[in-house]
Structure 1
C-alpha cells in the first residue's frame, strides 16, 4: 500500500488558514483522496489538553516551558495520529507543524534556533511534511482579521513586534526550504489565495 501524503498549512495569525484548509480538504476529496484533518498543538486527546494550557489566557509561562510543551504535544501527535494515518494510505492535513516552533518560539520569543533544532531531531527524527503551504500576510492586515473574531488567546495577545518577528522567521524558513515550503500571498481575496494553493497542490 502506498503511504499517504502529509501536508501542513502555516502562517501568522489572521492569514486565513481555516478557510484555506477547508478549501484544500474539498479539493483533495474531489480528487478521490481521503484526507484526515488535524492541528497543532492538538490532534490527540493528550495534545489537546496541552493546547488548552498553551493558549489559556490564565497561563503565564516561561518561553522554554512553552517550547517544551509544544514538542511534547507534537511527539504525541506524530506517533499516535499522523504516522499511523499515513501508513493506511490516507493523507494528513495539519494546521501548523514544526515550522511554527521556529517562527513563534524562535522568531517571536527569540529562543536559540539550535535548541529548537535539537528538540526537532529528538522528537521528529527526520520526519517532514511532503509539502508546507505558508500563507503570508502583512501583520497589520492579519491582526485586523484577528481583532474582528473577538476574544484572543494567549498567543494572539502578543504585540505587533512579536508577530513581525514571527513573519520574518517564516519567510526565512521558506527561503531555506523552497522545495517543501511554498510561500503564498494571502493578503488579497480568498479566491486568489485558493487559486494559488490549487496550482501548487496539482503538482503533488
Structure 2
C-alpha cells in the first residue's frame, strides 16, 4: 500500500542507542499492515554514498580534517537523497533512515566545531528540500551507549566515532536533545534505556500519530519530493 505522498522518518541518537534495531522493528510492523517501506542509512544508502561510507568510518579521511569530512558526508547525503530517498517518496513509500541531517549538525557542527553557517550551507545543498516529516531521537547516557556499541563491535575494530572520548559522546547527547527542544513539531525523544519492546511500542505510537495527520501540513516539502 503506497501513500499519496511518501513519509520520511529519521532515527537519530548517539552510539549504541538502538536506532537500527528499532528502525527495522518499525519497518516490519508497517509492512505487516501493507505499507510500502524502505529502510536505509547514513552515511550510505546509495551506491555512491556507500563508497564514501567506508572512507569516513574507517578514518581514512580523518587526517584531512573535519571540514573535509563534513564535505564528504554532504556529498554522500546528496547522492542518497537524489538516488534513493526522493524517488521513494515520489512513489508514496514510507522511508525510514538511520541517521540523516541532525547527525551532521551534531557530529560535524557541535563536536567538530565547524562554523554554523558552513554546516547550514552544506545541509541545504545536500538535502535539497527533503526534510524529515518526523525525527525520532533515541536518548541514552553516553556511558551506556558506548558500552553497548563496544560489545556489538567486539569482533571488529571500533569505527571512527566509537573510538572518541566519553566527554565527546555526552556532548553529542546534549546536542541531540537541544535539536529536539528547538524543533518540537518534527522531533520526538524516546528514552532508549527502556526495554526494547517498550521502546518499539512508543516508536509505533509516534508513527501512528504521523500517519493520522493525513493531509495536514508537515515539515517536509511535498513539492521537493515531487
Please state which band the TM-score falls in when normalised by the shorter chain: over 0.9
Aligned length in residues? 204
Please say if 1:125 is aligned against 2:128: yes
Aligned to 1:154: 160
Aligned to 2:218: none
8 Å CA contact retained: 1:63, 1:109: yes
| Aligned Cα root-mean-square deviation (Å) | 1.3
The offset of 1:163, in angstroms, is 0.7
Aligned to 1:24: 26
Aligned to 1:116: 119
The offset of 1:120, in angstroms, is 1.5
Unpaired runs of 5+ residues, structure 2, are 211-226
Once the two structures are superposed, the pairs formed by residues 186-197 of structure 1 within 5 Å of their partners are: 186-197=192-203
Q: Distance in 1 between matches of 2:104 and 2:59?
A: 19
| Cα offsets for 1:5-44 (capped at 9, x unmatched) | 1111111000011210111101211221110111111011
Please say if 1:74 is aligned against 2:80: no
Return closer, same or farther for 1:78/1:148 CA change in 2, 3 Å cut-off.
same
Aligned to 2:5: 3
Q: Distance in 2 between matches of 1:147 and 1:42?
A: 21
Aligned to 2:47: 45
Q: Distance in 2 between matches of 1:124 and 1:182?
A: 20
Please say if 1:88 is aligned against 2:91: yes
Q: Distance in 1 between matches of 2:62 and 2:132?
A: 31
TM-score (normalised: structure 1)? 0.96
Aligned to 2:213: none
Q: Distance in 2 between matches of 1:81 and 1:167?
A: 28
